[in-house]
């Protein structure tokens, strides 16, 4: 119970910046409560003075009184609900912004081990469920709690004995309501997890739609989605079942309380202890009082749903980034481009991927890394970008350990062209200036020209303002790659990382991209990872990696003469043909 309370208080803490809006809502809640208490109060003179005594003056006043009370209650209700919902929406906006900002700062390992669809579900669906705490729970708690206190205060003042009779059912209500709430929380949390799986299937199916259609797997994807969707429904059905049981249970138990009031009250009227007006006034207060009581019981269901969703959201917020700036980290202001790996050993899990790996690249030098799959080539890129930190050794830039530098300044001096040509669903111009948001249009066009992208951009209907679709789906592979190269050229970083930049291209596109890469590599320290050995033959040095170690090093011709692993890879790729 303490843990649940802490989670709920943590949710509500996000509303603290909007306390004055909530305070205004609470003041308006007093108006709603006073109106309900006043309605119960006027029943007594209505019965005793008007119906029984026949006071005609009061009869003329009653319609104005009813309209006035109703209008006052309506205005108070509007102000109360509007203010609390605005505060709630702002709080939810803050939570969603904070969660997204935090996920952007989490380390690469977090994303490697988790589904992006599940993470999307937590930011979108789980936080939407948490919204009920502000949109519904706070509204109901404020309005109905104050109303409940006002009505019970009036009822106790009128006749405390009869009021206590009305509340013999409260313990009977509390126990099953609490049990129902626990079940709702359990199945709501499982349902949110199932929604994460559902979002993951959607994300993968839509992102891989070309693969789905090319293999004719539409029906297979539909069946997968239907299966996961059915799993989600099974949890939501149980949540609905328990939630739907709340209202009938409360209705039955409330009727018992009303029955006791009628029996006891009528006996007291017959005995002359109270007037008919007092009895009906008290009965009205009790009937009105059961309404907020029932709503407050239902609030518990919403709290349990929100708590289950909040646990999943706070799991993300409480996940500490693996890679963080050191307390005394400094900015890398100027970079010559000297890169050193000094006896680096790194493992993702237990098995090392790089073992006692060392290399130094002079400014402007082009170094290629080749070797079998799993040799550690892409790990080199990840360590230089500081996606991970090595277990042993150091990675240095201009003599500075990358762990002593701020991550932002480190990445400002690195440019990556990856085999996965990721482009955003935005204009061509904005994709080129991604990472260089302040670049003007002239700089964008100059970068595109150096990347040999100008020709096909001019043929597009809106040129640089053309929206290219999700992941650049409107462009060919070679065109996407050249846009990525233009992006790297515009960034102007002194250290360039090319990770299989031409692996997925046809011969004609590869030739165009290679020319663009030559422009990109000028005066930059460049690391090239490539399976196509024809693309790295002119590198200053080639490092041949095998099982995380450098087994050969040198220029292309020298490595061929050694007749080692590089020569075998070359022969296997070109079938013994000369270059």
Predicted local confidence at residue 513, as pLDDT: 67
- Nearest to 490, CA basis, from 436, 452, 449: 436
- Nearest to 314, CA basis, from 126, 183, 187: 126
**What is the model's pTM?**
0.72
CA-to-CA distance for 57 and 63, rounded, in angstroms?
A: 11
Q: 401 falls in which pLDDT band (50, 70, 90)?
A: very high
Average pLDDT over residues 19-41: 77
Average pLDDT over residues 313-328: 87
Displacement of CA 425 from its chain's centroid (Å): 19
Average pLDDT over residues 492-519: 71
Give whole-number Cα distances, 75 to 38, 72, 138, 349, 481, in Å. 16, 5, 18, 63, 61
* SS3 call for 427: strand
The residues with which 552 forms a beta bridge, in sequence order, are 544
498, pLDDT greater than 70: yes
Under 8 Å CB-to-CB from 32, ≥6 apart: which residues?
73, 76, 77, 80, 143, 146, 147
CA-to-CA distance for 513 and 405, rounded, in angstroms?
A: 33
578, pLDDT greater than 50: no
Q: What is the mean pLDDT of the chain?
A: 77
CA-to-CA distance for 508 and 56, rounded, in angstroms?
A: 100
Triad 427, 387, 327: Cα angle to 5°: 110
Dihedral in degrees, nearest 10, Cα atoms 163, 166, 168, 171: -100
Q: Where are the alpha helices (DSSP H) in 418-564?
A: 428-432, 441-450, 454-459, 477-491, 507-521, 556-562
Of these ranges, 21-25, 29-33, 420-424, the one predicted with the greatest mean pLDDT is 21-25
Cα-Cα-Cα-Cα dihedral sign, residues 210, 212, 216, 221: negative
Give the strand order in the sheet containing 352-361. Answer: 352-361, 339-347, 392-397, 400-401
Cα-Cα-Cα-Cα dihedral sign, residues 62, 63, 67, 73: positive
Cα-Cα-Cα-Cα dihedral sign, residues 555, 556, 560, 566: positive
Quick one: DSSP state of residue 371? -
* SS3 call for 164: helix
- For residues 298 and 20, the model is more confident at 20
- Nearest to 545, CA basis, from 337, 402, 359: 359
Triad 4, 8, 11: Cα angle to 5°: 145
Domains of the chain: 2-317 (1.20.1560.10), 339-574 (3.40.50.300)
Give whole-number Cα distances, 340 to 61, 361, 485, in Å. 92, 6, 25
User: pLDDT tens across 3-17, in order?
Assistant: 667 777 788 788 888
User: pLDDT tens across 350-377, in order?
Assistant: 888 889 989 999 998 889 888 887 778 8
Which two tokens mark 295?
């709503």
């Amino acid at each position: 119970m303490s843990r649940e309370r802490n989670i709920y208080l943590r949710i509500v803490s996000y509303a603290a910046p909007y306390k004055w809006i909530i305070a205004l809502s609470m003041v308006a809640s007093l108006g709603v409560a006073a109106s309900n208490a006043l309605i119960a109060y006027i029943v007594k003179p209505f019965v005793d003075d008007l119906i029984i005594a026949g006071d005609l003056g009061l009869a003329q006043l009653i319609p104005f009184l009813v309209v006035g009370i109703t209008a006052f209650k309506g205005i108070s209700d509007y102000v109360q609900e509007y203010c609390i919902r605005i505060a709630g929406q702002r709080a939810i906006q803050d939570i969603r912004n904070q969660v997204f900002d935090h996920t952007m700062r989490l380390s690469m390992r977090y994303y490697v081990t988790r589904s992006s669809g599940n993470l999307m579900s937590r930011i979108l669906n789980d936080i939407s469920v948490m919204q009920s705490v502000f949109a519904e729970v706070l509204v109901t708690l404020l309005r109905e709690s104050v109303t409940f206190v006002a009505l019970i205060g009036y009822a106790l003042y009128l006749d405390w004995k009869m009021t206590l009779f009305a509340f013999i059912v409260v313990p009977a209500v509390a126990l099953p309501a609490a049990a129902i709430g626990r079940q709702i929380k359990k199945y709501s949390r499982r349902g949110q997890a199932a929604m994460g799986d559902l979002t993951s299937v959607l994300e993968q199916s839509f992102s891989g739609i070309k693969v789905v259609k090319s293999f004719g797997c539409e029906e297979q994807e539909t069946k997968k989605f239907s299966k996961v969707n059915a799993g989600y429904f099974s949890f939501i059905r149980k949540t609905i079942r328990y939630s739907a049981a709340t209202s009938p249970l409360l209705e039955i138990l409330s009727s018992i309380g009303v029955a006791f009031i009628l029996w006891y009250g009528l006996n007291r009227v017959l005995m002359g202890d109270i007037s008919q007006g007092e009895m009906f006034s008290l009965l009205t207060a009790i009937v009105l009082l059961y309404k907020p009581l029932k709503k407050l019981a239902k609030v518990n269901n919403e709290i349990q749903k929100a708590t289950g969703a909040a646990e999943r959201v706070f799991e993300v917020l409480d996940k500490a980034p693996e890679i963080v700036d050191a307390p005394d980290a400094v900015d890398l202001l100027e970079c010559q481009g000297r890169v050193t790996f000094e006896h680096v050993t790194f493992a993702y899990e237990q098995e090392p991927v790089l073992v006692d790996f060392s290399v130094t690249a002079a400014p402007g030098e082009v170094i290629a890394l080749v070797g079998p799959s799993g040799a550690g080539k892409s790990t080199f890129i990840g360590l230089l970008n500081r996606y991970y930190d090595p277990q042993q050794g150091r990675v240095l830039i201009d003599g500075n350990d990358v762990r002593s530098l701020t991550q932002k300044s480190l990445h400002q001096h690195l440019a990556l062209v990856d085999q996965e040509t990721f482009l955003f669903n935005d204009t061509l111009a904005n994709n080129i200036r991604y990472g260089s948001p302040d670049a003007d249009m002239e700089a964008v066009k100059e970068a595109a020209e150096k990347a040999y992208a100008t020709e096909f951009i001019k043929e597009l209907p809106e040129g640089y303002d053309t929206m290219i679709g999700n992941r650049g789906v409107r462009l060919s592979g070679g065109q996407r790659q050249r846009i990525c190269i233009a992006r790297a050229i515009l960034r102007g970083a002194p250290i360039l990382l090319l990770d299989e930049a031409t692996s997925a291209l046809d011969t004609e596109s590869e030739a165009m991209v290679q020319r663009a890469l030559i422009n990109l590599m000028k005066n930059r320290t460049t690391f090239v990872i490539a399976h196509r050995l024809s693309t790295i033959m002119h590198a200053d040095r080639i490092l041949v990696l095998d099982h995380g170690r450098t087994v050969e090093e040198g220029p292309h011709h020298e490595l061929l003469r050694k007749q080692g692993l590089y020569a075998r890879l070359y022969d296997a790729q070109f079938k013994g043909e000369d270059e």
